[in-house]
């Protein structure tokens, strides 16, 4: 699944999380392959929109969900959905049985989806596919209203674009102005970041990199073809549902 590969952009919005989520997800994939190398072929051959349902897990430690209280007893039944948006951004959503968003924390959703190899599948909710549809609508609405094609305001892509756009305006007409920087800013606006670029930018943003150093870093990444995933202009305007996981109490 592309969740664990460079194409994934789903973790871009969690720059303020202390955990490096892309590395965390990749480590899950490496551990799974080490335990069962056959998963490499099995996962690659799974079709999009594949789904299953599991018993609602209890967290290893109490986790707070807005309006839900603490602990697994307060966690709602519903569905987790993993999809790719038309702009190439991957996203996770968790909705309850009424189709309401439970949390936007990508790390919490990823942890909730965690299963052991012998975790049994159980019967799905009768309205599972409707919950998936509502989760897709929630993510699509967020894409339109929060940051547009740049993703979440907390994400590396949004923050880098905003800082470089303002920086470019300040240095226009000076020695620091360059067409390479303008092209890099345009590409960040039009295309998703490579996962390696997201990780690098998140680290540097947390380290409070200066605007000038950020501009030099982005231009260098672009020169090395390590900044954005350039896609065809005629890409699908519809989101792609990769998979979904129902959650039910036993």
What's the distance, CA 39 to chain centroid?
Answer: 22
With a cut of 60, say whether residue 88 has pLDDT above it.
yes
53 lies in a domain?
yes
Is residue 42 domain-shared with residue 159, that is, in the same domain? no
The pLDDT of residue 14 is 43
State which of 15-29, 57-71, 116-130, 226-240 shows the largest mean pLDDT: 116-130
Mean of pLDDT over the chain: 82
203 lies in a domain?
yes
Quote the number of domains for the chain. 2
136 lies in a domain?
yes
Is residue 7 domain-shared with residue 59, that is, in the same domain? yes
Is residue 9 domain-shared with residue 36, that is, in the same domain? yes
Residue 121 to residue 250: CA distance in whole angstroms: 12
Contact 146, 197 (CB under 8 A): no
**What single string gives the DSSP state of each residue in the chain?**
-GGGSTT--GGGG-TTSSS-HHHHHHHHHHHHHHH-TTHHHHHHTPPTTEEEEEEPPPPSS--EETTTEESGGGPPPEEEEEEE-TTS-EEEEEEETTS-EEE--HHHHHHHT---TTPPP-PPPTTHHHHHHHHHHHHHHHHHHSSGGG--TTSHHHHHHHHHHHHHHHHTTSTT--HHHHHHHHHHHHSPBPHHHHHHHHHHHHTT--HHHHHHHHHHHHHTT-SB----TT--SS-EEEEEEEEE--
Is residue 75 domain-shared with residue 170, that is, in the same domain? no
The pLDDT of residue 11 is 44
Is residue 59 domain-shared with residue 121, that is, in the same domain? yes
Report the pLDDT averaged over residues 224-235. 76
230 lies in a domain?
no
Is residue 158 domain-shared with residue 138, that is, in the same domain? no
Report the pLDDT averaged over residues 5-25. 51
Is residue 174 domain-shared with residue 71, that is, in the same domain? no
Is residue 102 domain-shared with residue 134, that is, in the same domain? yes
Is residue 91 domain-shared with residue 127, that is, in the same domain? yes
Report the pLDDT averaged over residues 122-135. 96
The pLDDT of residue 155 is 82
The pLDDT of residue 58 is 66
Instruction: State the residue range of the domain holding 212.
Output: 150-223
229 lies in a domain?
no
228 lies in a domain?
no
pLDDT tens digits for range 146-195: 545 677 777 889 999 999 999 999 999 888 889 999 999 999 998 888 88
Report the pLDDT averaged over residues 194-214. 92
Is residue 6 domain-shared with residue 130, that is, in the same domain? yes
Is residue 71 domain-shared with residue 96, that is, in the same domain? yes
* Model-wide pTM > 0.85: no
Is residue 182 domain-shared with residue 83, that is, in the same domain? no
209 lies in a domain?
yes
pLDDT tens digits for range 41-73: 999 899 999 999 999 876 554 555 554 544 445
Report the pLDDT averaged over residues 200-223. 95
11 lies in a domain?
yes
């Amino acid at each position: 699944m592309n969740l664990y590969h460079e194409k994934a952009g789903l973790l871009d919005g969690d720059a303020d999380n202390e955990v490096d989520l892309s590395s965390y997800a990749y480590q899950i994939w490496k551990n799974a392959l080490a335990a069962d190398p056959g998963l490499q072929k099995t996962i690659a051959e799974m079709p999009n929109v594949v789904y299953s349902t599991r018993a609602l897990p209890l967290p290893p430690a109490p986790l707070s969900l807005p309006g839900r209280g603490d602990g697994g007893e307060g966690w709602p039944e519903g569905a987790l959905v993993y999809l790719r948006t038309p702009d190439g951004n991957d996203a996770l959503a968790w909705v309850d049985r009424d189709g309401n968003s439970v949390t936007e924390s990508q790390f919490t959703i990823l942890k909730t989806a965690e299963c052991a190899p012998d975790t049994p599948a159980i019967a799905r909710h009768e309205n599972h596919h409707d919950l998936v549809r509502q989760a897709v609508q929630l993510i699509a609405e967020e894409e339109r209203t929060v940051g547009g094609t740049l993703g979440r305001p907390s994400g590396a892509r949004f923050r880098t674009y905003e800082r470089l756009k303002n920086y470019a305006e300040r240095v226009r007409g000076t020695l620091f102005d360059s067409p390479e920087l303008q092209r890099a800013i345009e590409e960040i606006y039009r295309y998703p970041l490579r996962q390696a670029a997201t990780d690098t930018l998140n680290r540097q943003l947390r380290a409070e990199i200066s605007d000038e150093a950020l501009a030099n870093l982005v231009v260098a990444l672009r020169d090395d073809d390590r900044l954005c995933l350039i896609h065809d202009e005629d890409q699908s305007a519809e989101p792609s549902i990769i998979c979904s996981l129902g959650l039910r109490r036993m």
